[in-house]
Amino acid sequence: MTDSAFDKPVVILGAGGAIGRLVLSLLAGSDCRGFDLDADPQRAIVGAHATDNVVLDAVSDCAAVILCLPESAALDAIESLAPRLSSEQLLVDTLSIKSPFLTRCAELGLRCQHVSINPMFAPDLDPSGRAIATLVPRQGRRANIFTELLAYSGATLVDIPDISGDEHDRMTAALQVATHASILSFGLTLATLGYRANEASALWTPPHKTLLALLARIGTLSPEVYRDIQHEHPLAELVRSSAQSALQDIGSSTTPEAFADLVQRALDPLGASSEELAELCSEIFSR
């Protein structure tokens, strides 16, 4: 891509955060104007109750506005931004939960082009070869430019055709809520047992060591990231309730036949990917 991909500046709200810094790196070469949260971390500079004239002036003559904000701040911001953004401008949101924000945009009659993304990796990682979930509620020339920039970074764009955000949120309930809850509950179980990894390291099995590594990885990121996933996602309570029921099913499946059925039900979601994933596991363990 050339340095002139956008013919006007790109305004980034929340530019100082982890996602904001990732977006700035993806738009390297573009004329970006970053704004951050104000002194009160609960309020955005632009929002229903805070309309900073410097920001609004920048928005009035920009190619795109990118929201790298928490959900509550993004919902506040869109109240002020929606009537100001024309059909020639682009709005990008980076929220990990889509349906509430997309519903509000539809209610406000958003006129501008709109791309909704969710990088499915920690923002400090190189995007090359990693997945970015992409929804495009409102198409247009600048929406196409932005998705081309994402692709140019080497990221793999995974199009989510359901622009309501419901399908995206069901996927992330499995990909993030269920995954992280399982890993954290594993760690909490070890703590209850008084387990110390260094004392048992000589006996580590490959599956156990892999789970320990996943648990340690969670420790490298802010707890707030995982708190948001577990307490802001609309399906989080359902996921954790299902996990509790699954544990009870394991305990009650006492006969060989019942336990074999339980294992099969657990494997059903893998479908045609089962053999490929089994081979991947073997490769991981062999290392």
Q: Report domain extents, the chain.
A: 10-164, 167-252
The domain defined by 10-164 folds into Rossmann fold (3.40.50)
Q: What CA–CA distance (Å, rounded) separates 123 from 16?
A: 12
Total-model pTM: 0.82
Q: What is d(CA 204, CA 219) in angstroms, rounded to the nearest whole number?
A: 20
* pLDDT tens track, the chain, 287 positions: 445 578 899 999 999 888 999 999 988 888 999 988 654 444 434 433 334 678 888 899 999 999 999 899 999 999 999 999 999 999 999 999 999 999 999 999 999 999 999 999 888 889 999 999 999 999 999 999 999 999 999 999 999 999 899 999 999 999 999 999 999 999 999 999 999 999 999 999 999 999 999 999 999 888 988 998 899 899 999 999 999 999 999 999 999 999 999 999 999 999 999 999 999 999 999 88
